[in-house]
Structure formats: structure tokens, C-alpha cells
Amino acid sequence: MIPFSVLDLSPVARGSTPGDSLRHSRDLARHAESLGFHRYWLAEHHNMTGIASAATAVVIGYIAEGTHSIRVGSGGIMLPNHSPLVIAEQFGTLASLYPGRIDLGLGRAPGTDQGTARALRRSMGPSDDRFPDDVQELQMYLGPQRPGQTVRAVPGMDTNVPLWLLGSSLFSAQLAAHLGLPFAFASHFAPDMMMKALEVYRHMFRPSEVLDKPYAALGINVVAADTDAEARRLFTSQQQAFWNLRRGAPGQLPPPVNSMDGVWTSMEKAQVDHALSCAVVGSPDTVRDGLAAFIARTGADELIITAQVFDHEARKRSYTLVAEQRDALAERAAA
């Protein structure tokens, strides 16, 4: 069975605090580690009251310190917001403290609105042209010192922190293929280009010193509960939060509702259902069958599972059920 991993946005549930969310993230990471999940990734978002992981490298250190073996990393760091040298120093420090456990996933979007992007004090021009150069500059800082190199990342130099490229379009798929890097696609909220991006990445891939063949991880929303009805109820928190974001009113993660009727229009429902179409929501049997179908359709090398669930214990329970169905699929494959 392919590895299963976790993407945690460290959601701030309505009525709670970012401190609560970060402590819940650490608890969930320990839980995921005990269940055999492979990695635990956190994402950089800014100016969002429902997400507590803006200082992503700091949170990664907090999670890594509270766990023992699970890989911890970014899904991702939005590189246009930062100097490559600063990111090399941050993740070089993490890799020095937690050797062999740190991943550095990179995105090229700002992870926020344009006003906040300006407040991050980076130029506001298109990032497409600079992003490939920044990725390679970052690779240089994390690799061995080169002859004549005068600017070094300390810590960072020669840590060789694994880099991933993240994307929701063909751009990062092409760049990951060109550089021979692993690729993670944001199918959990932007599924339209998933299959085409996988095709481009796999077809154009060039082996590198770090990877001899394509390796693609896919994001997927999975909410599991004892019954289909309860899982669908839990999933309404994410549906509400996503629509609030789409209409320009992001906020804390709302509690679930028994029915979305009256919460949104049929057109709004169609838009959210489409954006979140890479989702498996239901009882253990439903989750097992849905995961098997998604893996068969995509040929994913790894799944990165996210679950925006209001109640922390229900969220942990969801990941427990997912792990059980992962193991059931592995047994089925071995039979």
C-alpha cells in the first residue's frame, strides 16, 4: 500500500484560539504517528483567522519536537514571500535539530490576498519567472558548498533537505519534472488539472540526483465516521468554510450543521462540490472503497489526507478510521 500522510491547516474552530489549534495539531501529529502515517505537513497562509500555521517553520519545529519518527514539513512554504536564503536557514536549522525528518514543499502562490502579499514586503510582480530561479538558489544553499561560493546558509549548507514542488496547475508539474523533484498536486481544492498535471509530470520527468523516477503525491479530503450520515455532517464544516473563503469572507472553522439546505444556494453547492470533488466522506466501508478508486484512477504514489473537522476528537477518530481502511486495503492487495 502506498504511504498515507497528513496535511494540517491547523484550523481555528469557531470560539477557540490559535493556541488551541496549534496544541491540537501537535496532538493530532502524535496520533498520526502512532497510526503509521508517513508525513505531517503544514501550510503557509496569511491573514486568515481560521488558519494558525502562518509561521510555518515555527510550527514545524513545534510538531517535530513533540513527535519521534514521522516526517514533518511544509505543504507548502510560499517561496515568492521569502528570500531563498532565509528559507534555507530556517529549514537547515530544522534539519539540524531533527535530522532525516524534515520536508520542504514549495508553492509559488502568495497564500493570501494581494494586500497582505504587499505587507509581506516582497515585490508584487508575477512570480512565474522568478520561481524556478528561487527554487534552484534554494537547492544550492541546502547542498554542499560550491567553489567560489561566498554566501552560505548556516545552518542549511549540506543538509540536503528534500524539496517538493506543489501546484494546482501545469506550471509546477513541468518544473518538478525538469528538476527531477517529487511533485504534490493540490487536488483537495483544485481538482480540474489533476490528471493532466500528472500526465505532464510523468511524461516530462528527468531523473536527478535526488529522484530516479516520478513521485507524485495527491491531496484528498477524507472525513470518516461510523456512519455515512455522521461523516457528511462533519464535512459540512469544511463546505461552509470553503464557501466563505470563495465569497471573500473567510473566518474561523464553523461547527457542522445537520443539513446545508438554506445555508447555500444550488449554484453555490455546485461550485463547492466541484472544488471539493476529490473527497471521500463516509463510513469505513465508504472510505475504503473511495480511497481504492482514487488510487486506481490516479496511480498516486502517496496520498496526503486533509480533514477540516470542527471537533478535535472527531478529527482524530476520522484519521483512525482512515488508517484502519489503509491497512485493510494493504491486506487486500497482499492476498
Q: DSSP letters of 316-328?
A: HHHHHHHHHHHHH
CB 53, CB 41: distance < 8 Å: no
Average pLDDT value for residue range 207-225 = 98
Model confidence pLDDT, tens digit, residues 27-65: 999 999 999 999 999 999 999 999 999 999 999 999 999
pLDDT at position 10 over 70: yes
pLDDT > 90: what percent of the chain?
A: 89
Residue with cell 513527535: 67
Mean pLDDT over the full length of the chain = 94
Indicate if the pLDDT at residue 114 is higher than 90.
no
**In 3D, which of 316, 213, 331 has the Cα closest to residue 305?**
316
pLDDT at 109: 79
Per-residue pLDDT band at 119 (split at 50, 70, 90)? confident
Q: Which three cell numbers stand for residue 282?
A: 463516509
Sorted by sequence, the CB contacts under 8 Å of residue 148 that are 6+ apart come out as: none
Q: How confident is the model at residue 96 (pLDDT cuts 50, 70, 90)?
A: very high
Peptide bond into 155 cis (omega under 30): yes
- The residue whose grid cell reads 477540516 is 308
User: Which amino acid is present at 249?
Assistant: A
Cα 253 to Cα 50, 177, 256, 282, 300: the distances in Å are 6, 36, 9, 20, 29
Asked if residues 325 and 284 have their Cβ atoms less than 8 Å apart, the reply is yes
Instruction: List CB contacts of 43: < 8 A, sequence separation 6 or more.
Output: 7, 8, 9, 51, 53, 56, 74, 75, 76, 111
Mean pLDDT for 249-267 is 92
In angstroms, what CA-CA distances link 262 with 102, 112, 153, 257? 44, 29, 54, 11
Mean pLDDT of 183-189: 97
* Apex 238 CA angle, 281 and 169, nearest 5: 90
**Which pLDDT score is estimated for 124?**
55
State residue 118's pLDDT score.
Answer: 75
Q: What is the pLDDT of residues 264-318, one digit of tens each?
A: 889 999 999 999 999 999 999 999 999 999 999 999 999 999 999 999 999 999 9
